[in-house]
């Protein structure tokens, strides 16, 4: 589930199911097949956005290779993935008569593996899905950092601390970060929201539940807030269960 708020006014709400199928490889890496099914998609502002959402929908499932901890390594079978996407979108012109140019542009990006996945990970739920920190579950606090992509703004590095508490099923972990936003991000916020704030603060909290027997996270929840003093400028909550 993803919910995005702008200022004190409720913003977009989107809910979708993310299914992850995991296969262990001989070299101890893992292959993830990720399917995304939207229950409540983000609202379309115009015909172009509808076409883009249709092209994005056809880009799932995605298959990637990760290390033992779930850190992204590379795409898996990318050429086969491209051919599958072509087949899925071949008849899109029957629904949208003016979509050829948009489909061709999307395909050009898709064929550049590095650029495509860089753009793909701008979807908010990827922030949470690929967060796989390395730490000791000893109840103490350990330094950790995560790069959080703010939709429409850019990437923000969020250094903080993480701690874990042991449970019968594994452990629960908690990450917290609170920083002043750098000037590059501040300028983008001011342009997008027509503001002139002197300083913004970013707060990020992530809660995770790990199942030791299954060697995977069963639940992840995150809350990201940008604020100007006591006023919330942007708020994003997401969860994967």
132-151 pLDDT, tens digit per residue, is 776 556 667 888 888 888 87
pLDDT digits (tens, 9 = 90+) for 45-95: 567 778 888 898 899 999 999 887 777 888 898 999 999 999 999 988 888
Question: How would residue 192 be classed by pLDDT, with cut points 50, 70 and 90?
Answer: confident
Question: How would residue 128 be classed by pLDDT, with cut points 50, 70 and 90?
Answer: confident
Phi, psi dihedrals of residue 167, rounded to the nearest 5°: -135, 170
Q: In whole angstroms, what is the distance from residue 55 CA to residue 211 CA?
A: 35
Instruction: Please state the rounded mean pLDDT for residues 139-166.
Output: 86
Neighbours of 137 (CB within 10 A): 18
Cα–Cα separations (whole angstroms), residue 6 to 11, 110, 119, 231, 233: 6, 31, 22, 11, 6
Per the prediction, the chain carries an average pLDDT of 82
0.85 exceeded by pTM = no
Question: How would residue 120 be classed by pLDDT, with cut points 50, 70 and 90?
Answer: confident
Q: In whole angstroms, what is the distance from residue 218 CA to residue 205 CA?
A: 17
Q: What is the pLDDT of residue 44?
A: 53
Share of the chain above pLDDT 70, in %: 86
Q: In whole angstroms, what is the distance from residue 24 CA to residue 93 CA?
A: 39
Q: In whole angstroms, what is the distance from residue 117 CA to residue 178 CA?
A: 28
Cα-only R_g, the chain:
19
What single-letter DSSP state applies at residue 100?
A: H
What single-letter DSSP state applies at residue 9?
A: B
User: Helices then strands (H, E): number in the chain?
Assistant: 6, 11
Instruction: Please state the rounded mean pLDDT for residues 97-106.
Output: 87
């Amino acid at each position: 589930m993803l919910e995005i708020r702008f200022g004190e006014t409720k913003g977009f709400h989107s809910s979708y199911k993310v299914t992850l199928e995991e296969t262990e490889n001989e070299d101890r890496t893992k292959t993830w097949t990720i399917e995304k099914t939207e229950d409540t998609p983000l609202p379309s502002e115009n015909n172009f956005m509808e076409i883009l959402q249709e092209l994005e929908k056809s880009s799932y499932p995605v298959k990637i290779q990760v290390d033992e901890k779930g850190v992204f390594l590379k795409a898996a079978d990318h050429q086969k993935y491209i051919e599958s996407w072509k087949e899925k979108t071949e008849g899109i012109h029957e629904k949208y008569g003016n979509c050829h140019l948009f489909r061709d542009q999307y395909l050009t990006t898709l064929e550049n593996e590095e650029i495509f996945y860089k753009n793909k990970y701008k979807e908010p739920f990827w922030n949470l899905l690929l967060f796989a920190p390395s730490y000791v579950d000893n109840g103490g606090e350990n330094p950790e950092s995560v790069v959080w992509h703010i939709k429409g703004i850019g990437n923000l590095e969020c250094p903080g601390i993480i701690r874990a508490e042991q449970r019968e099923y594994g452990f629960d972990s908690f990450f917290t970060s609170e920083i002043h936003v750098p000037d590059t991000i501040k300028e983008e916020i001011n342009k997008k929201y027509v503001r002139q704030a002197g300083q913004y603060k970013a707060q990020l909290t992530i809660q995770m539940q790990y199942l030791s027997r299954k060697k995977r996270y069963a639940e992840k929840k995150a809350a990201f807030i940008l604020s100007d003093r006591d006023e919330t400028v942007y708020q994003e909550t997401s969860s994967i269960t």
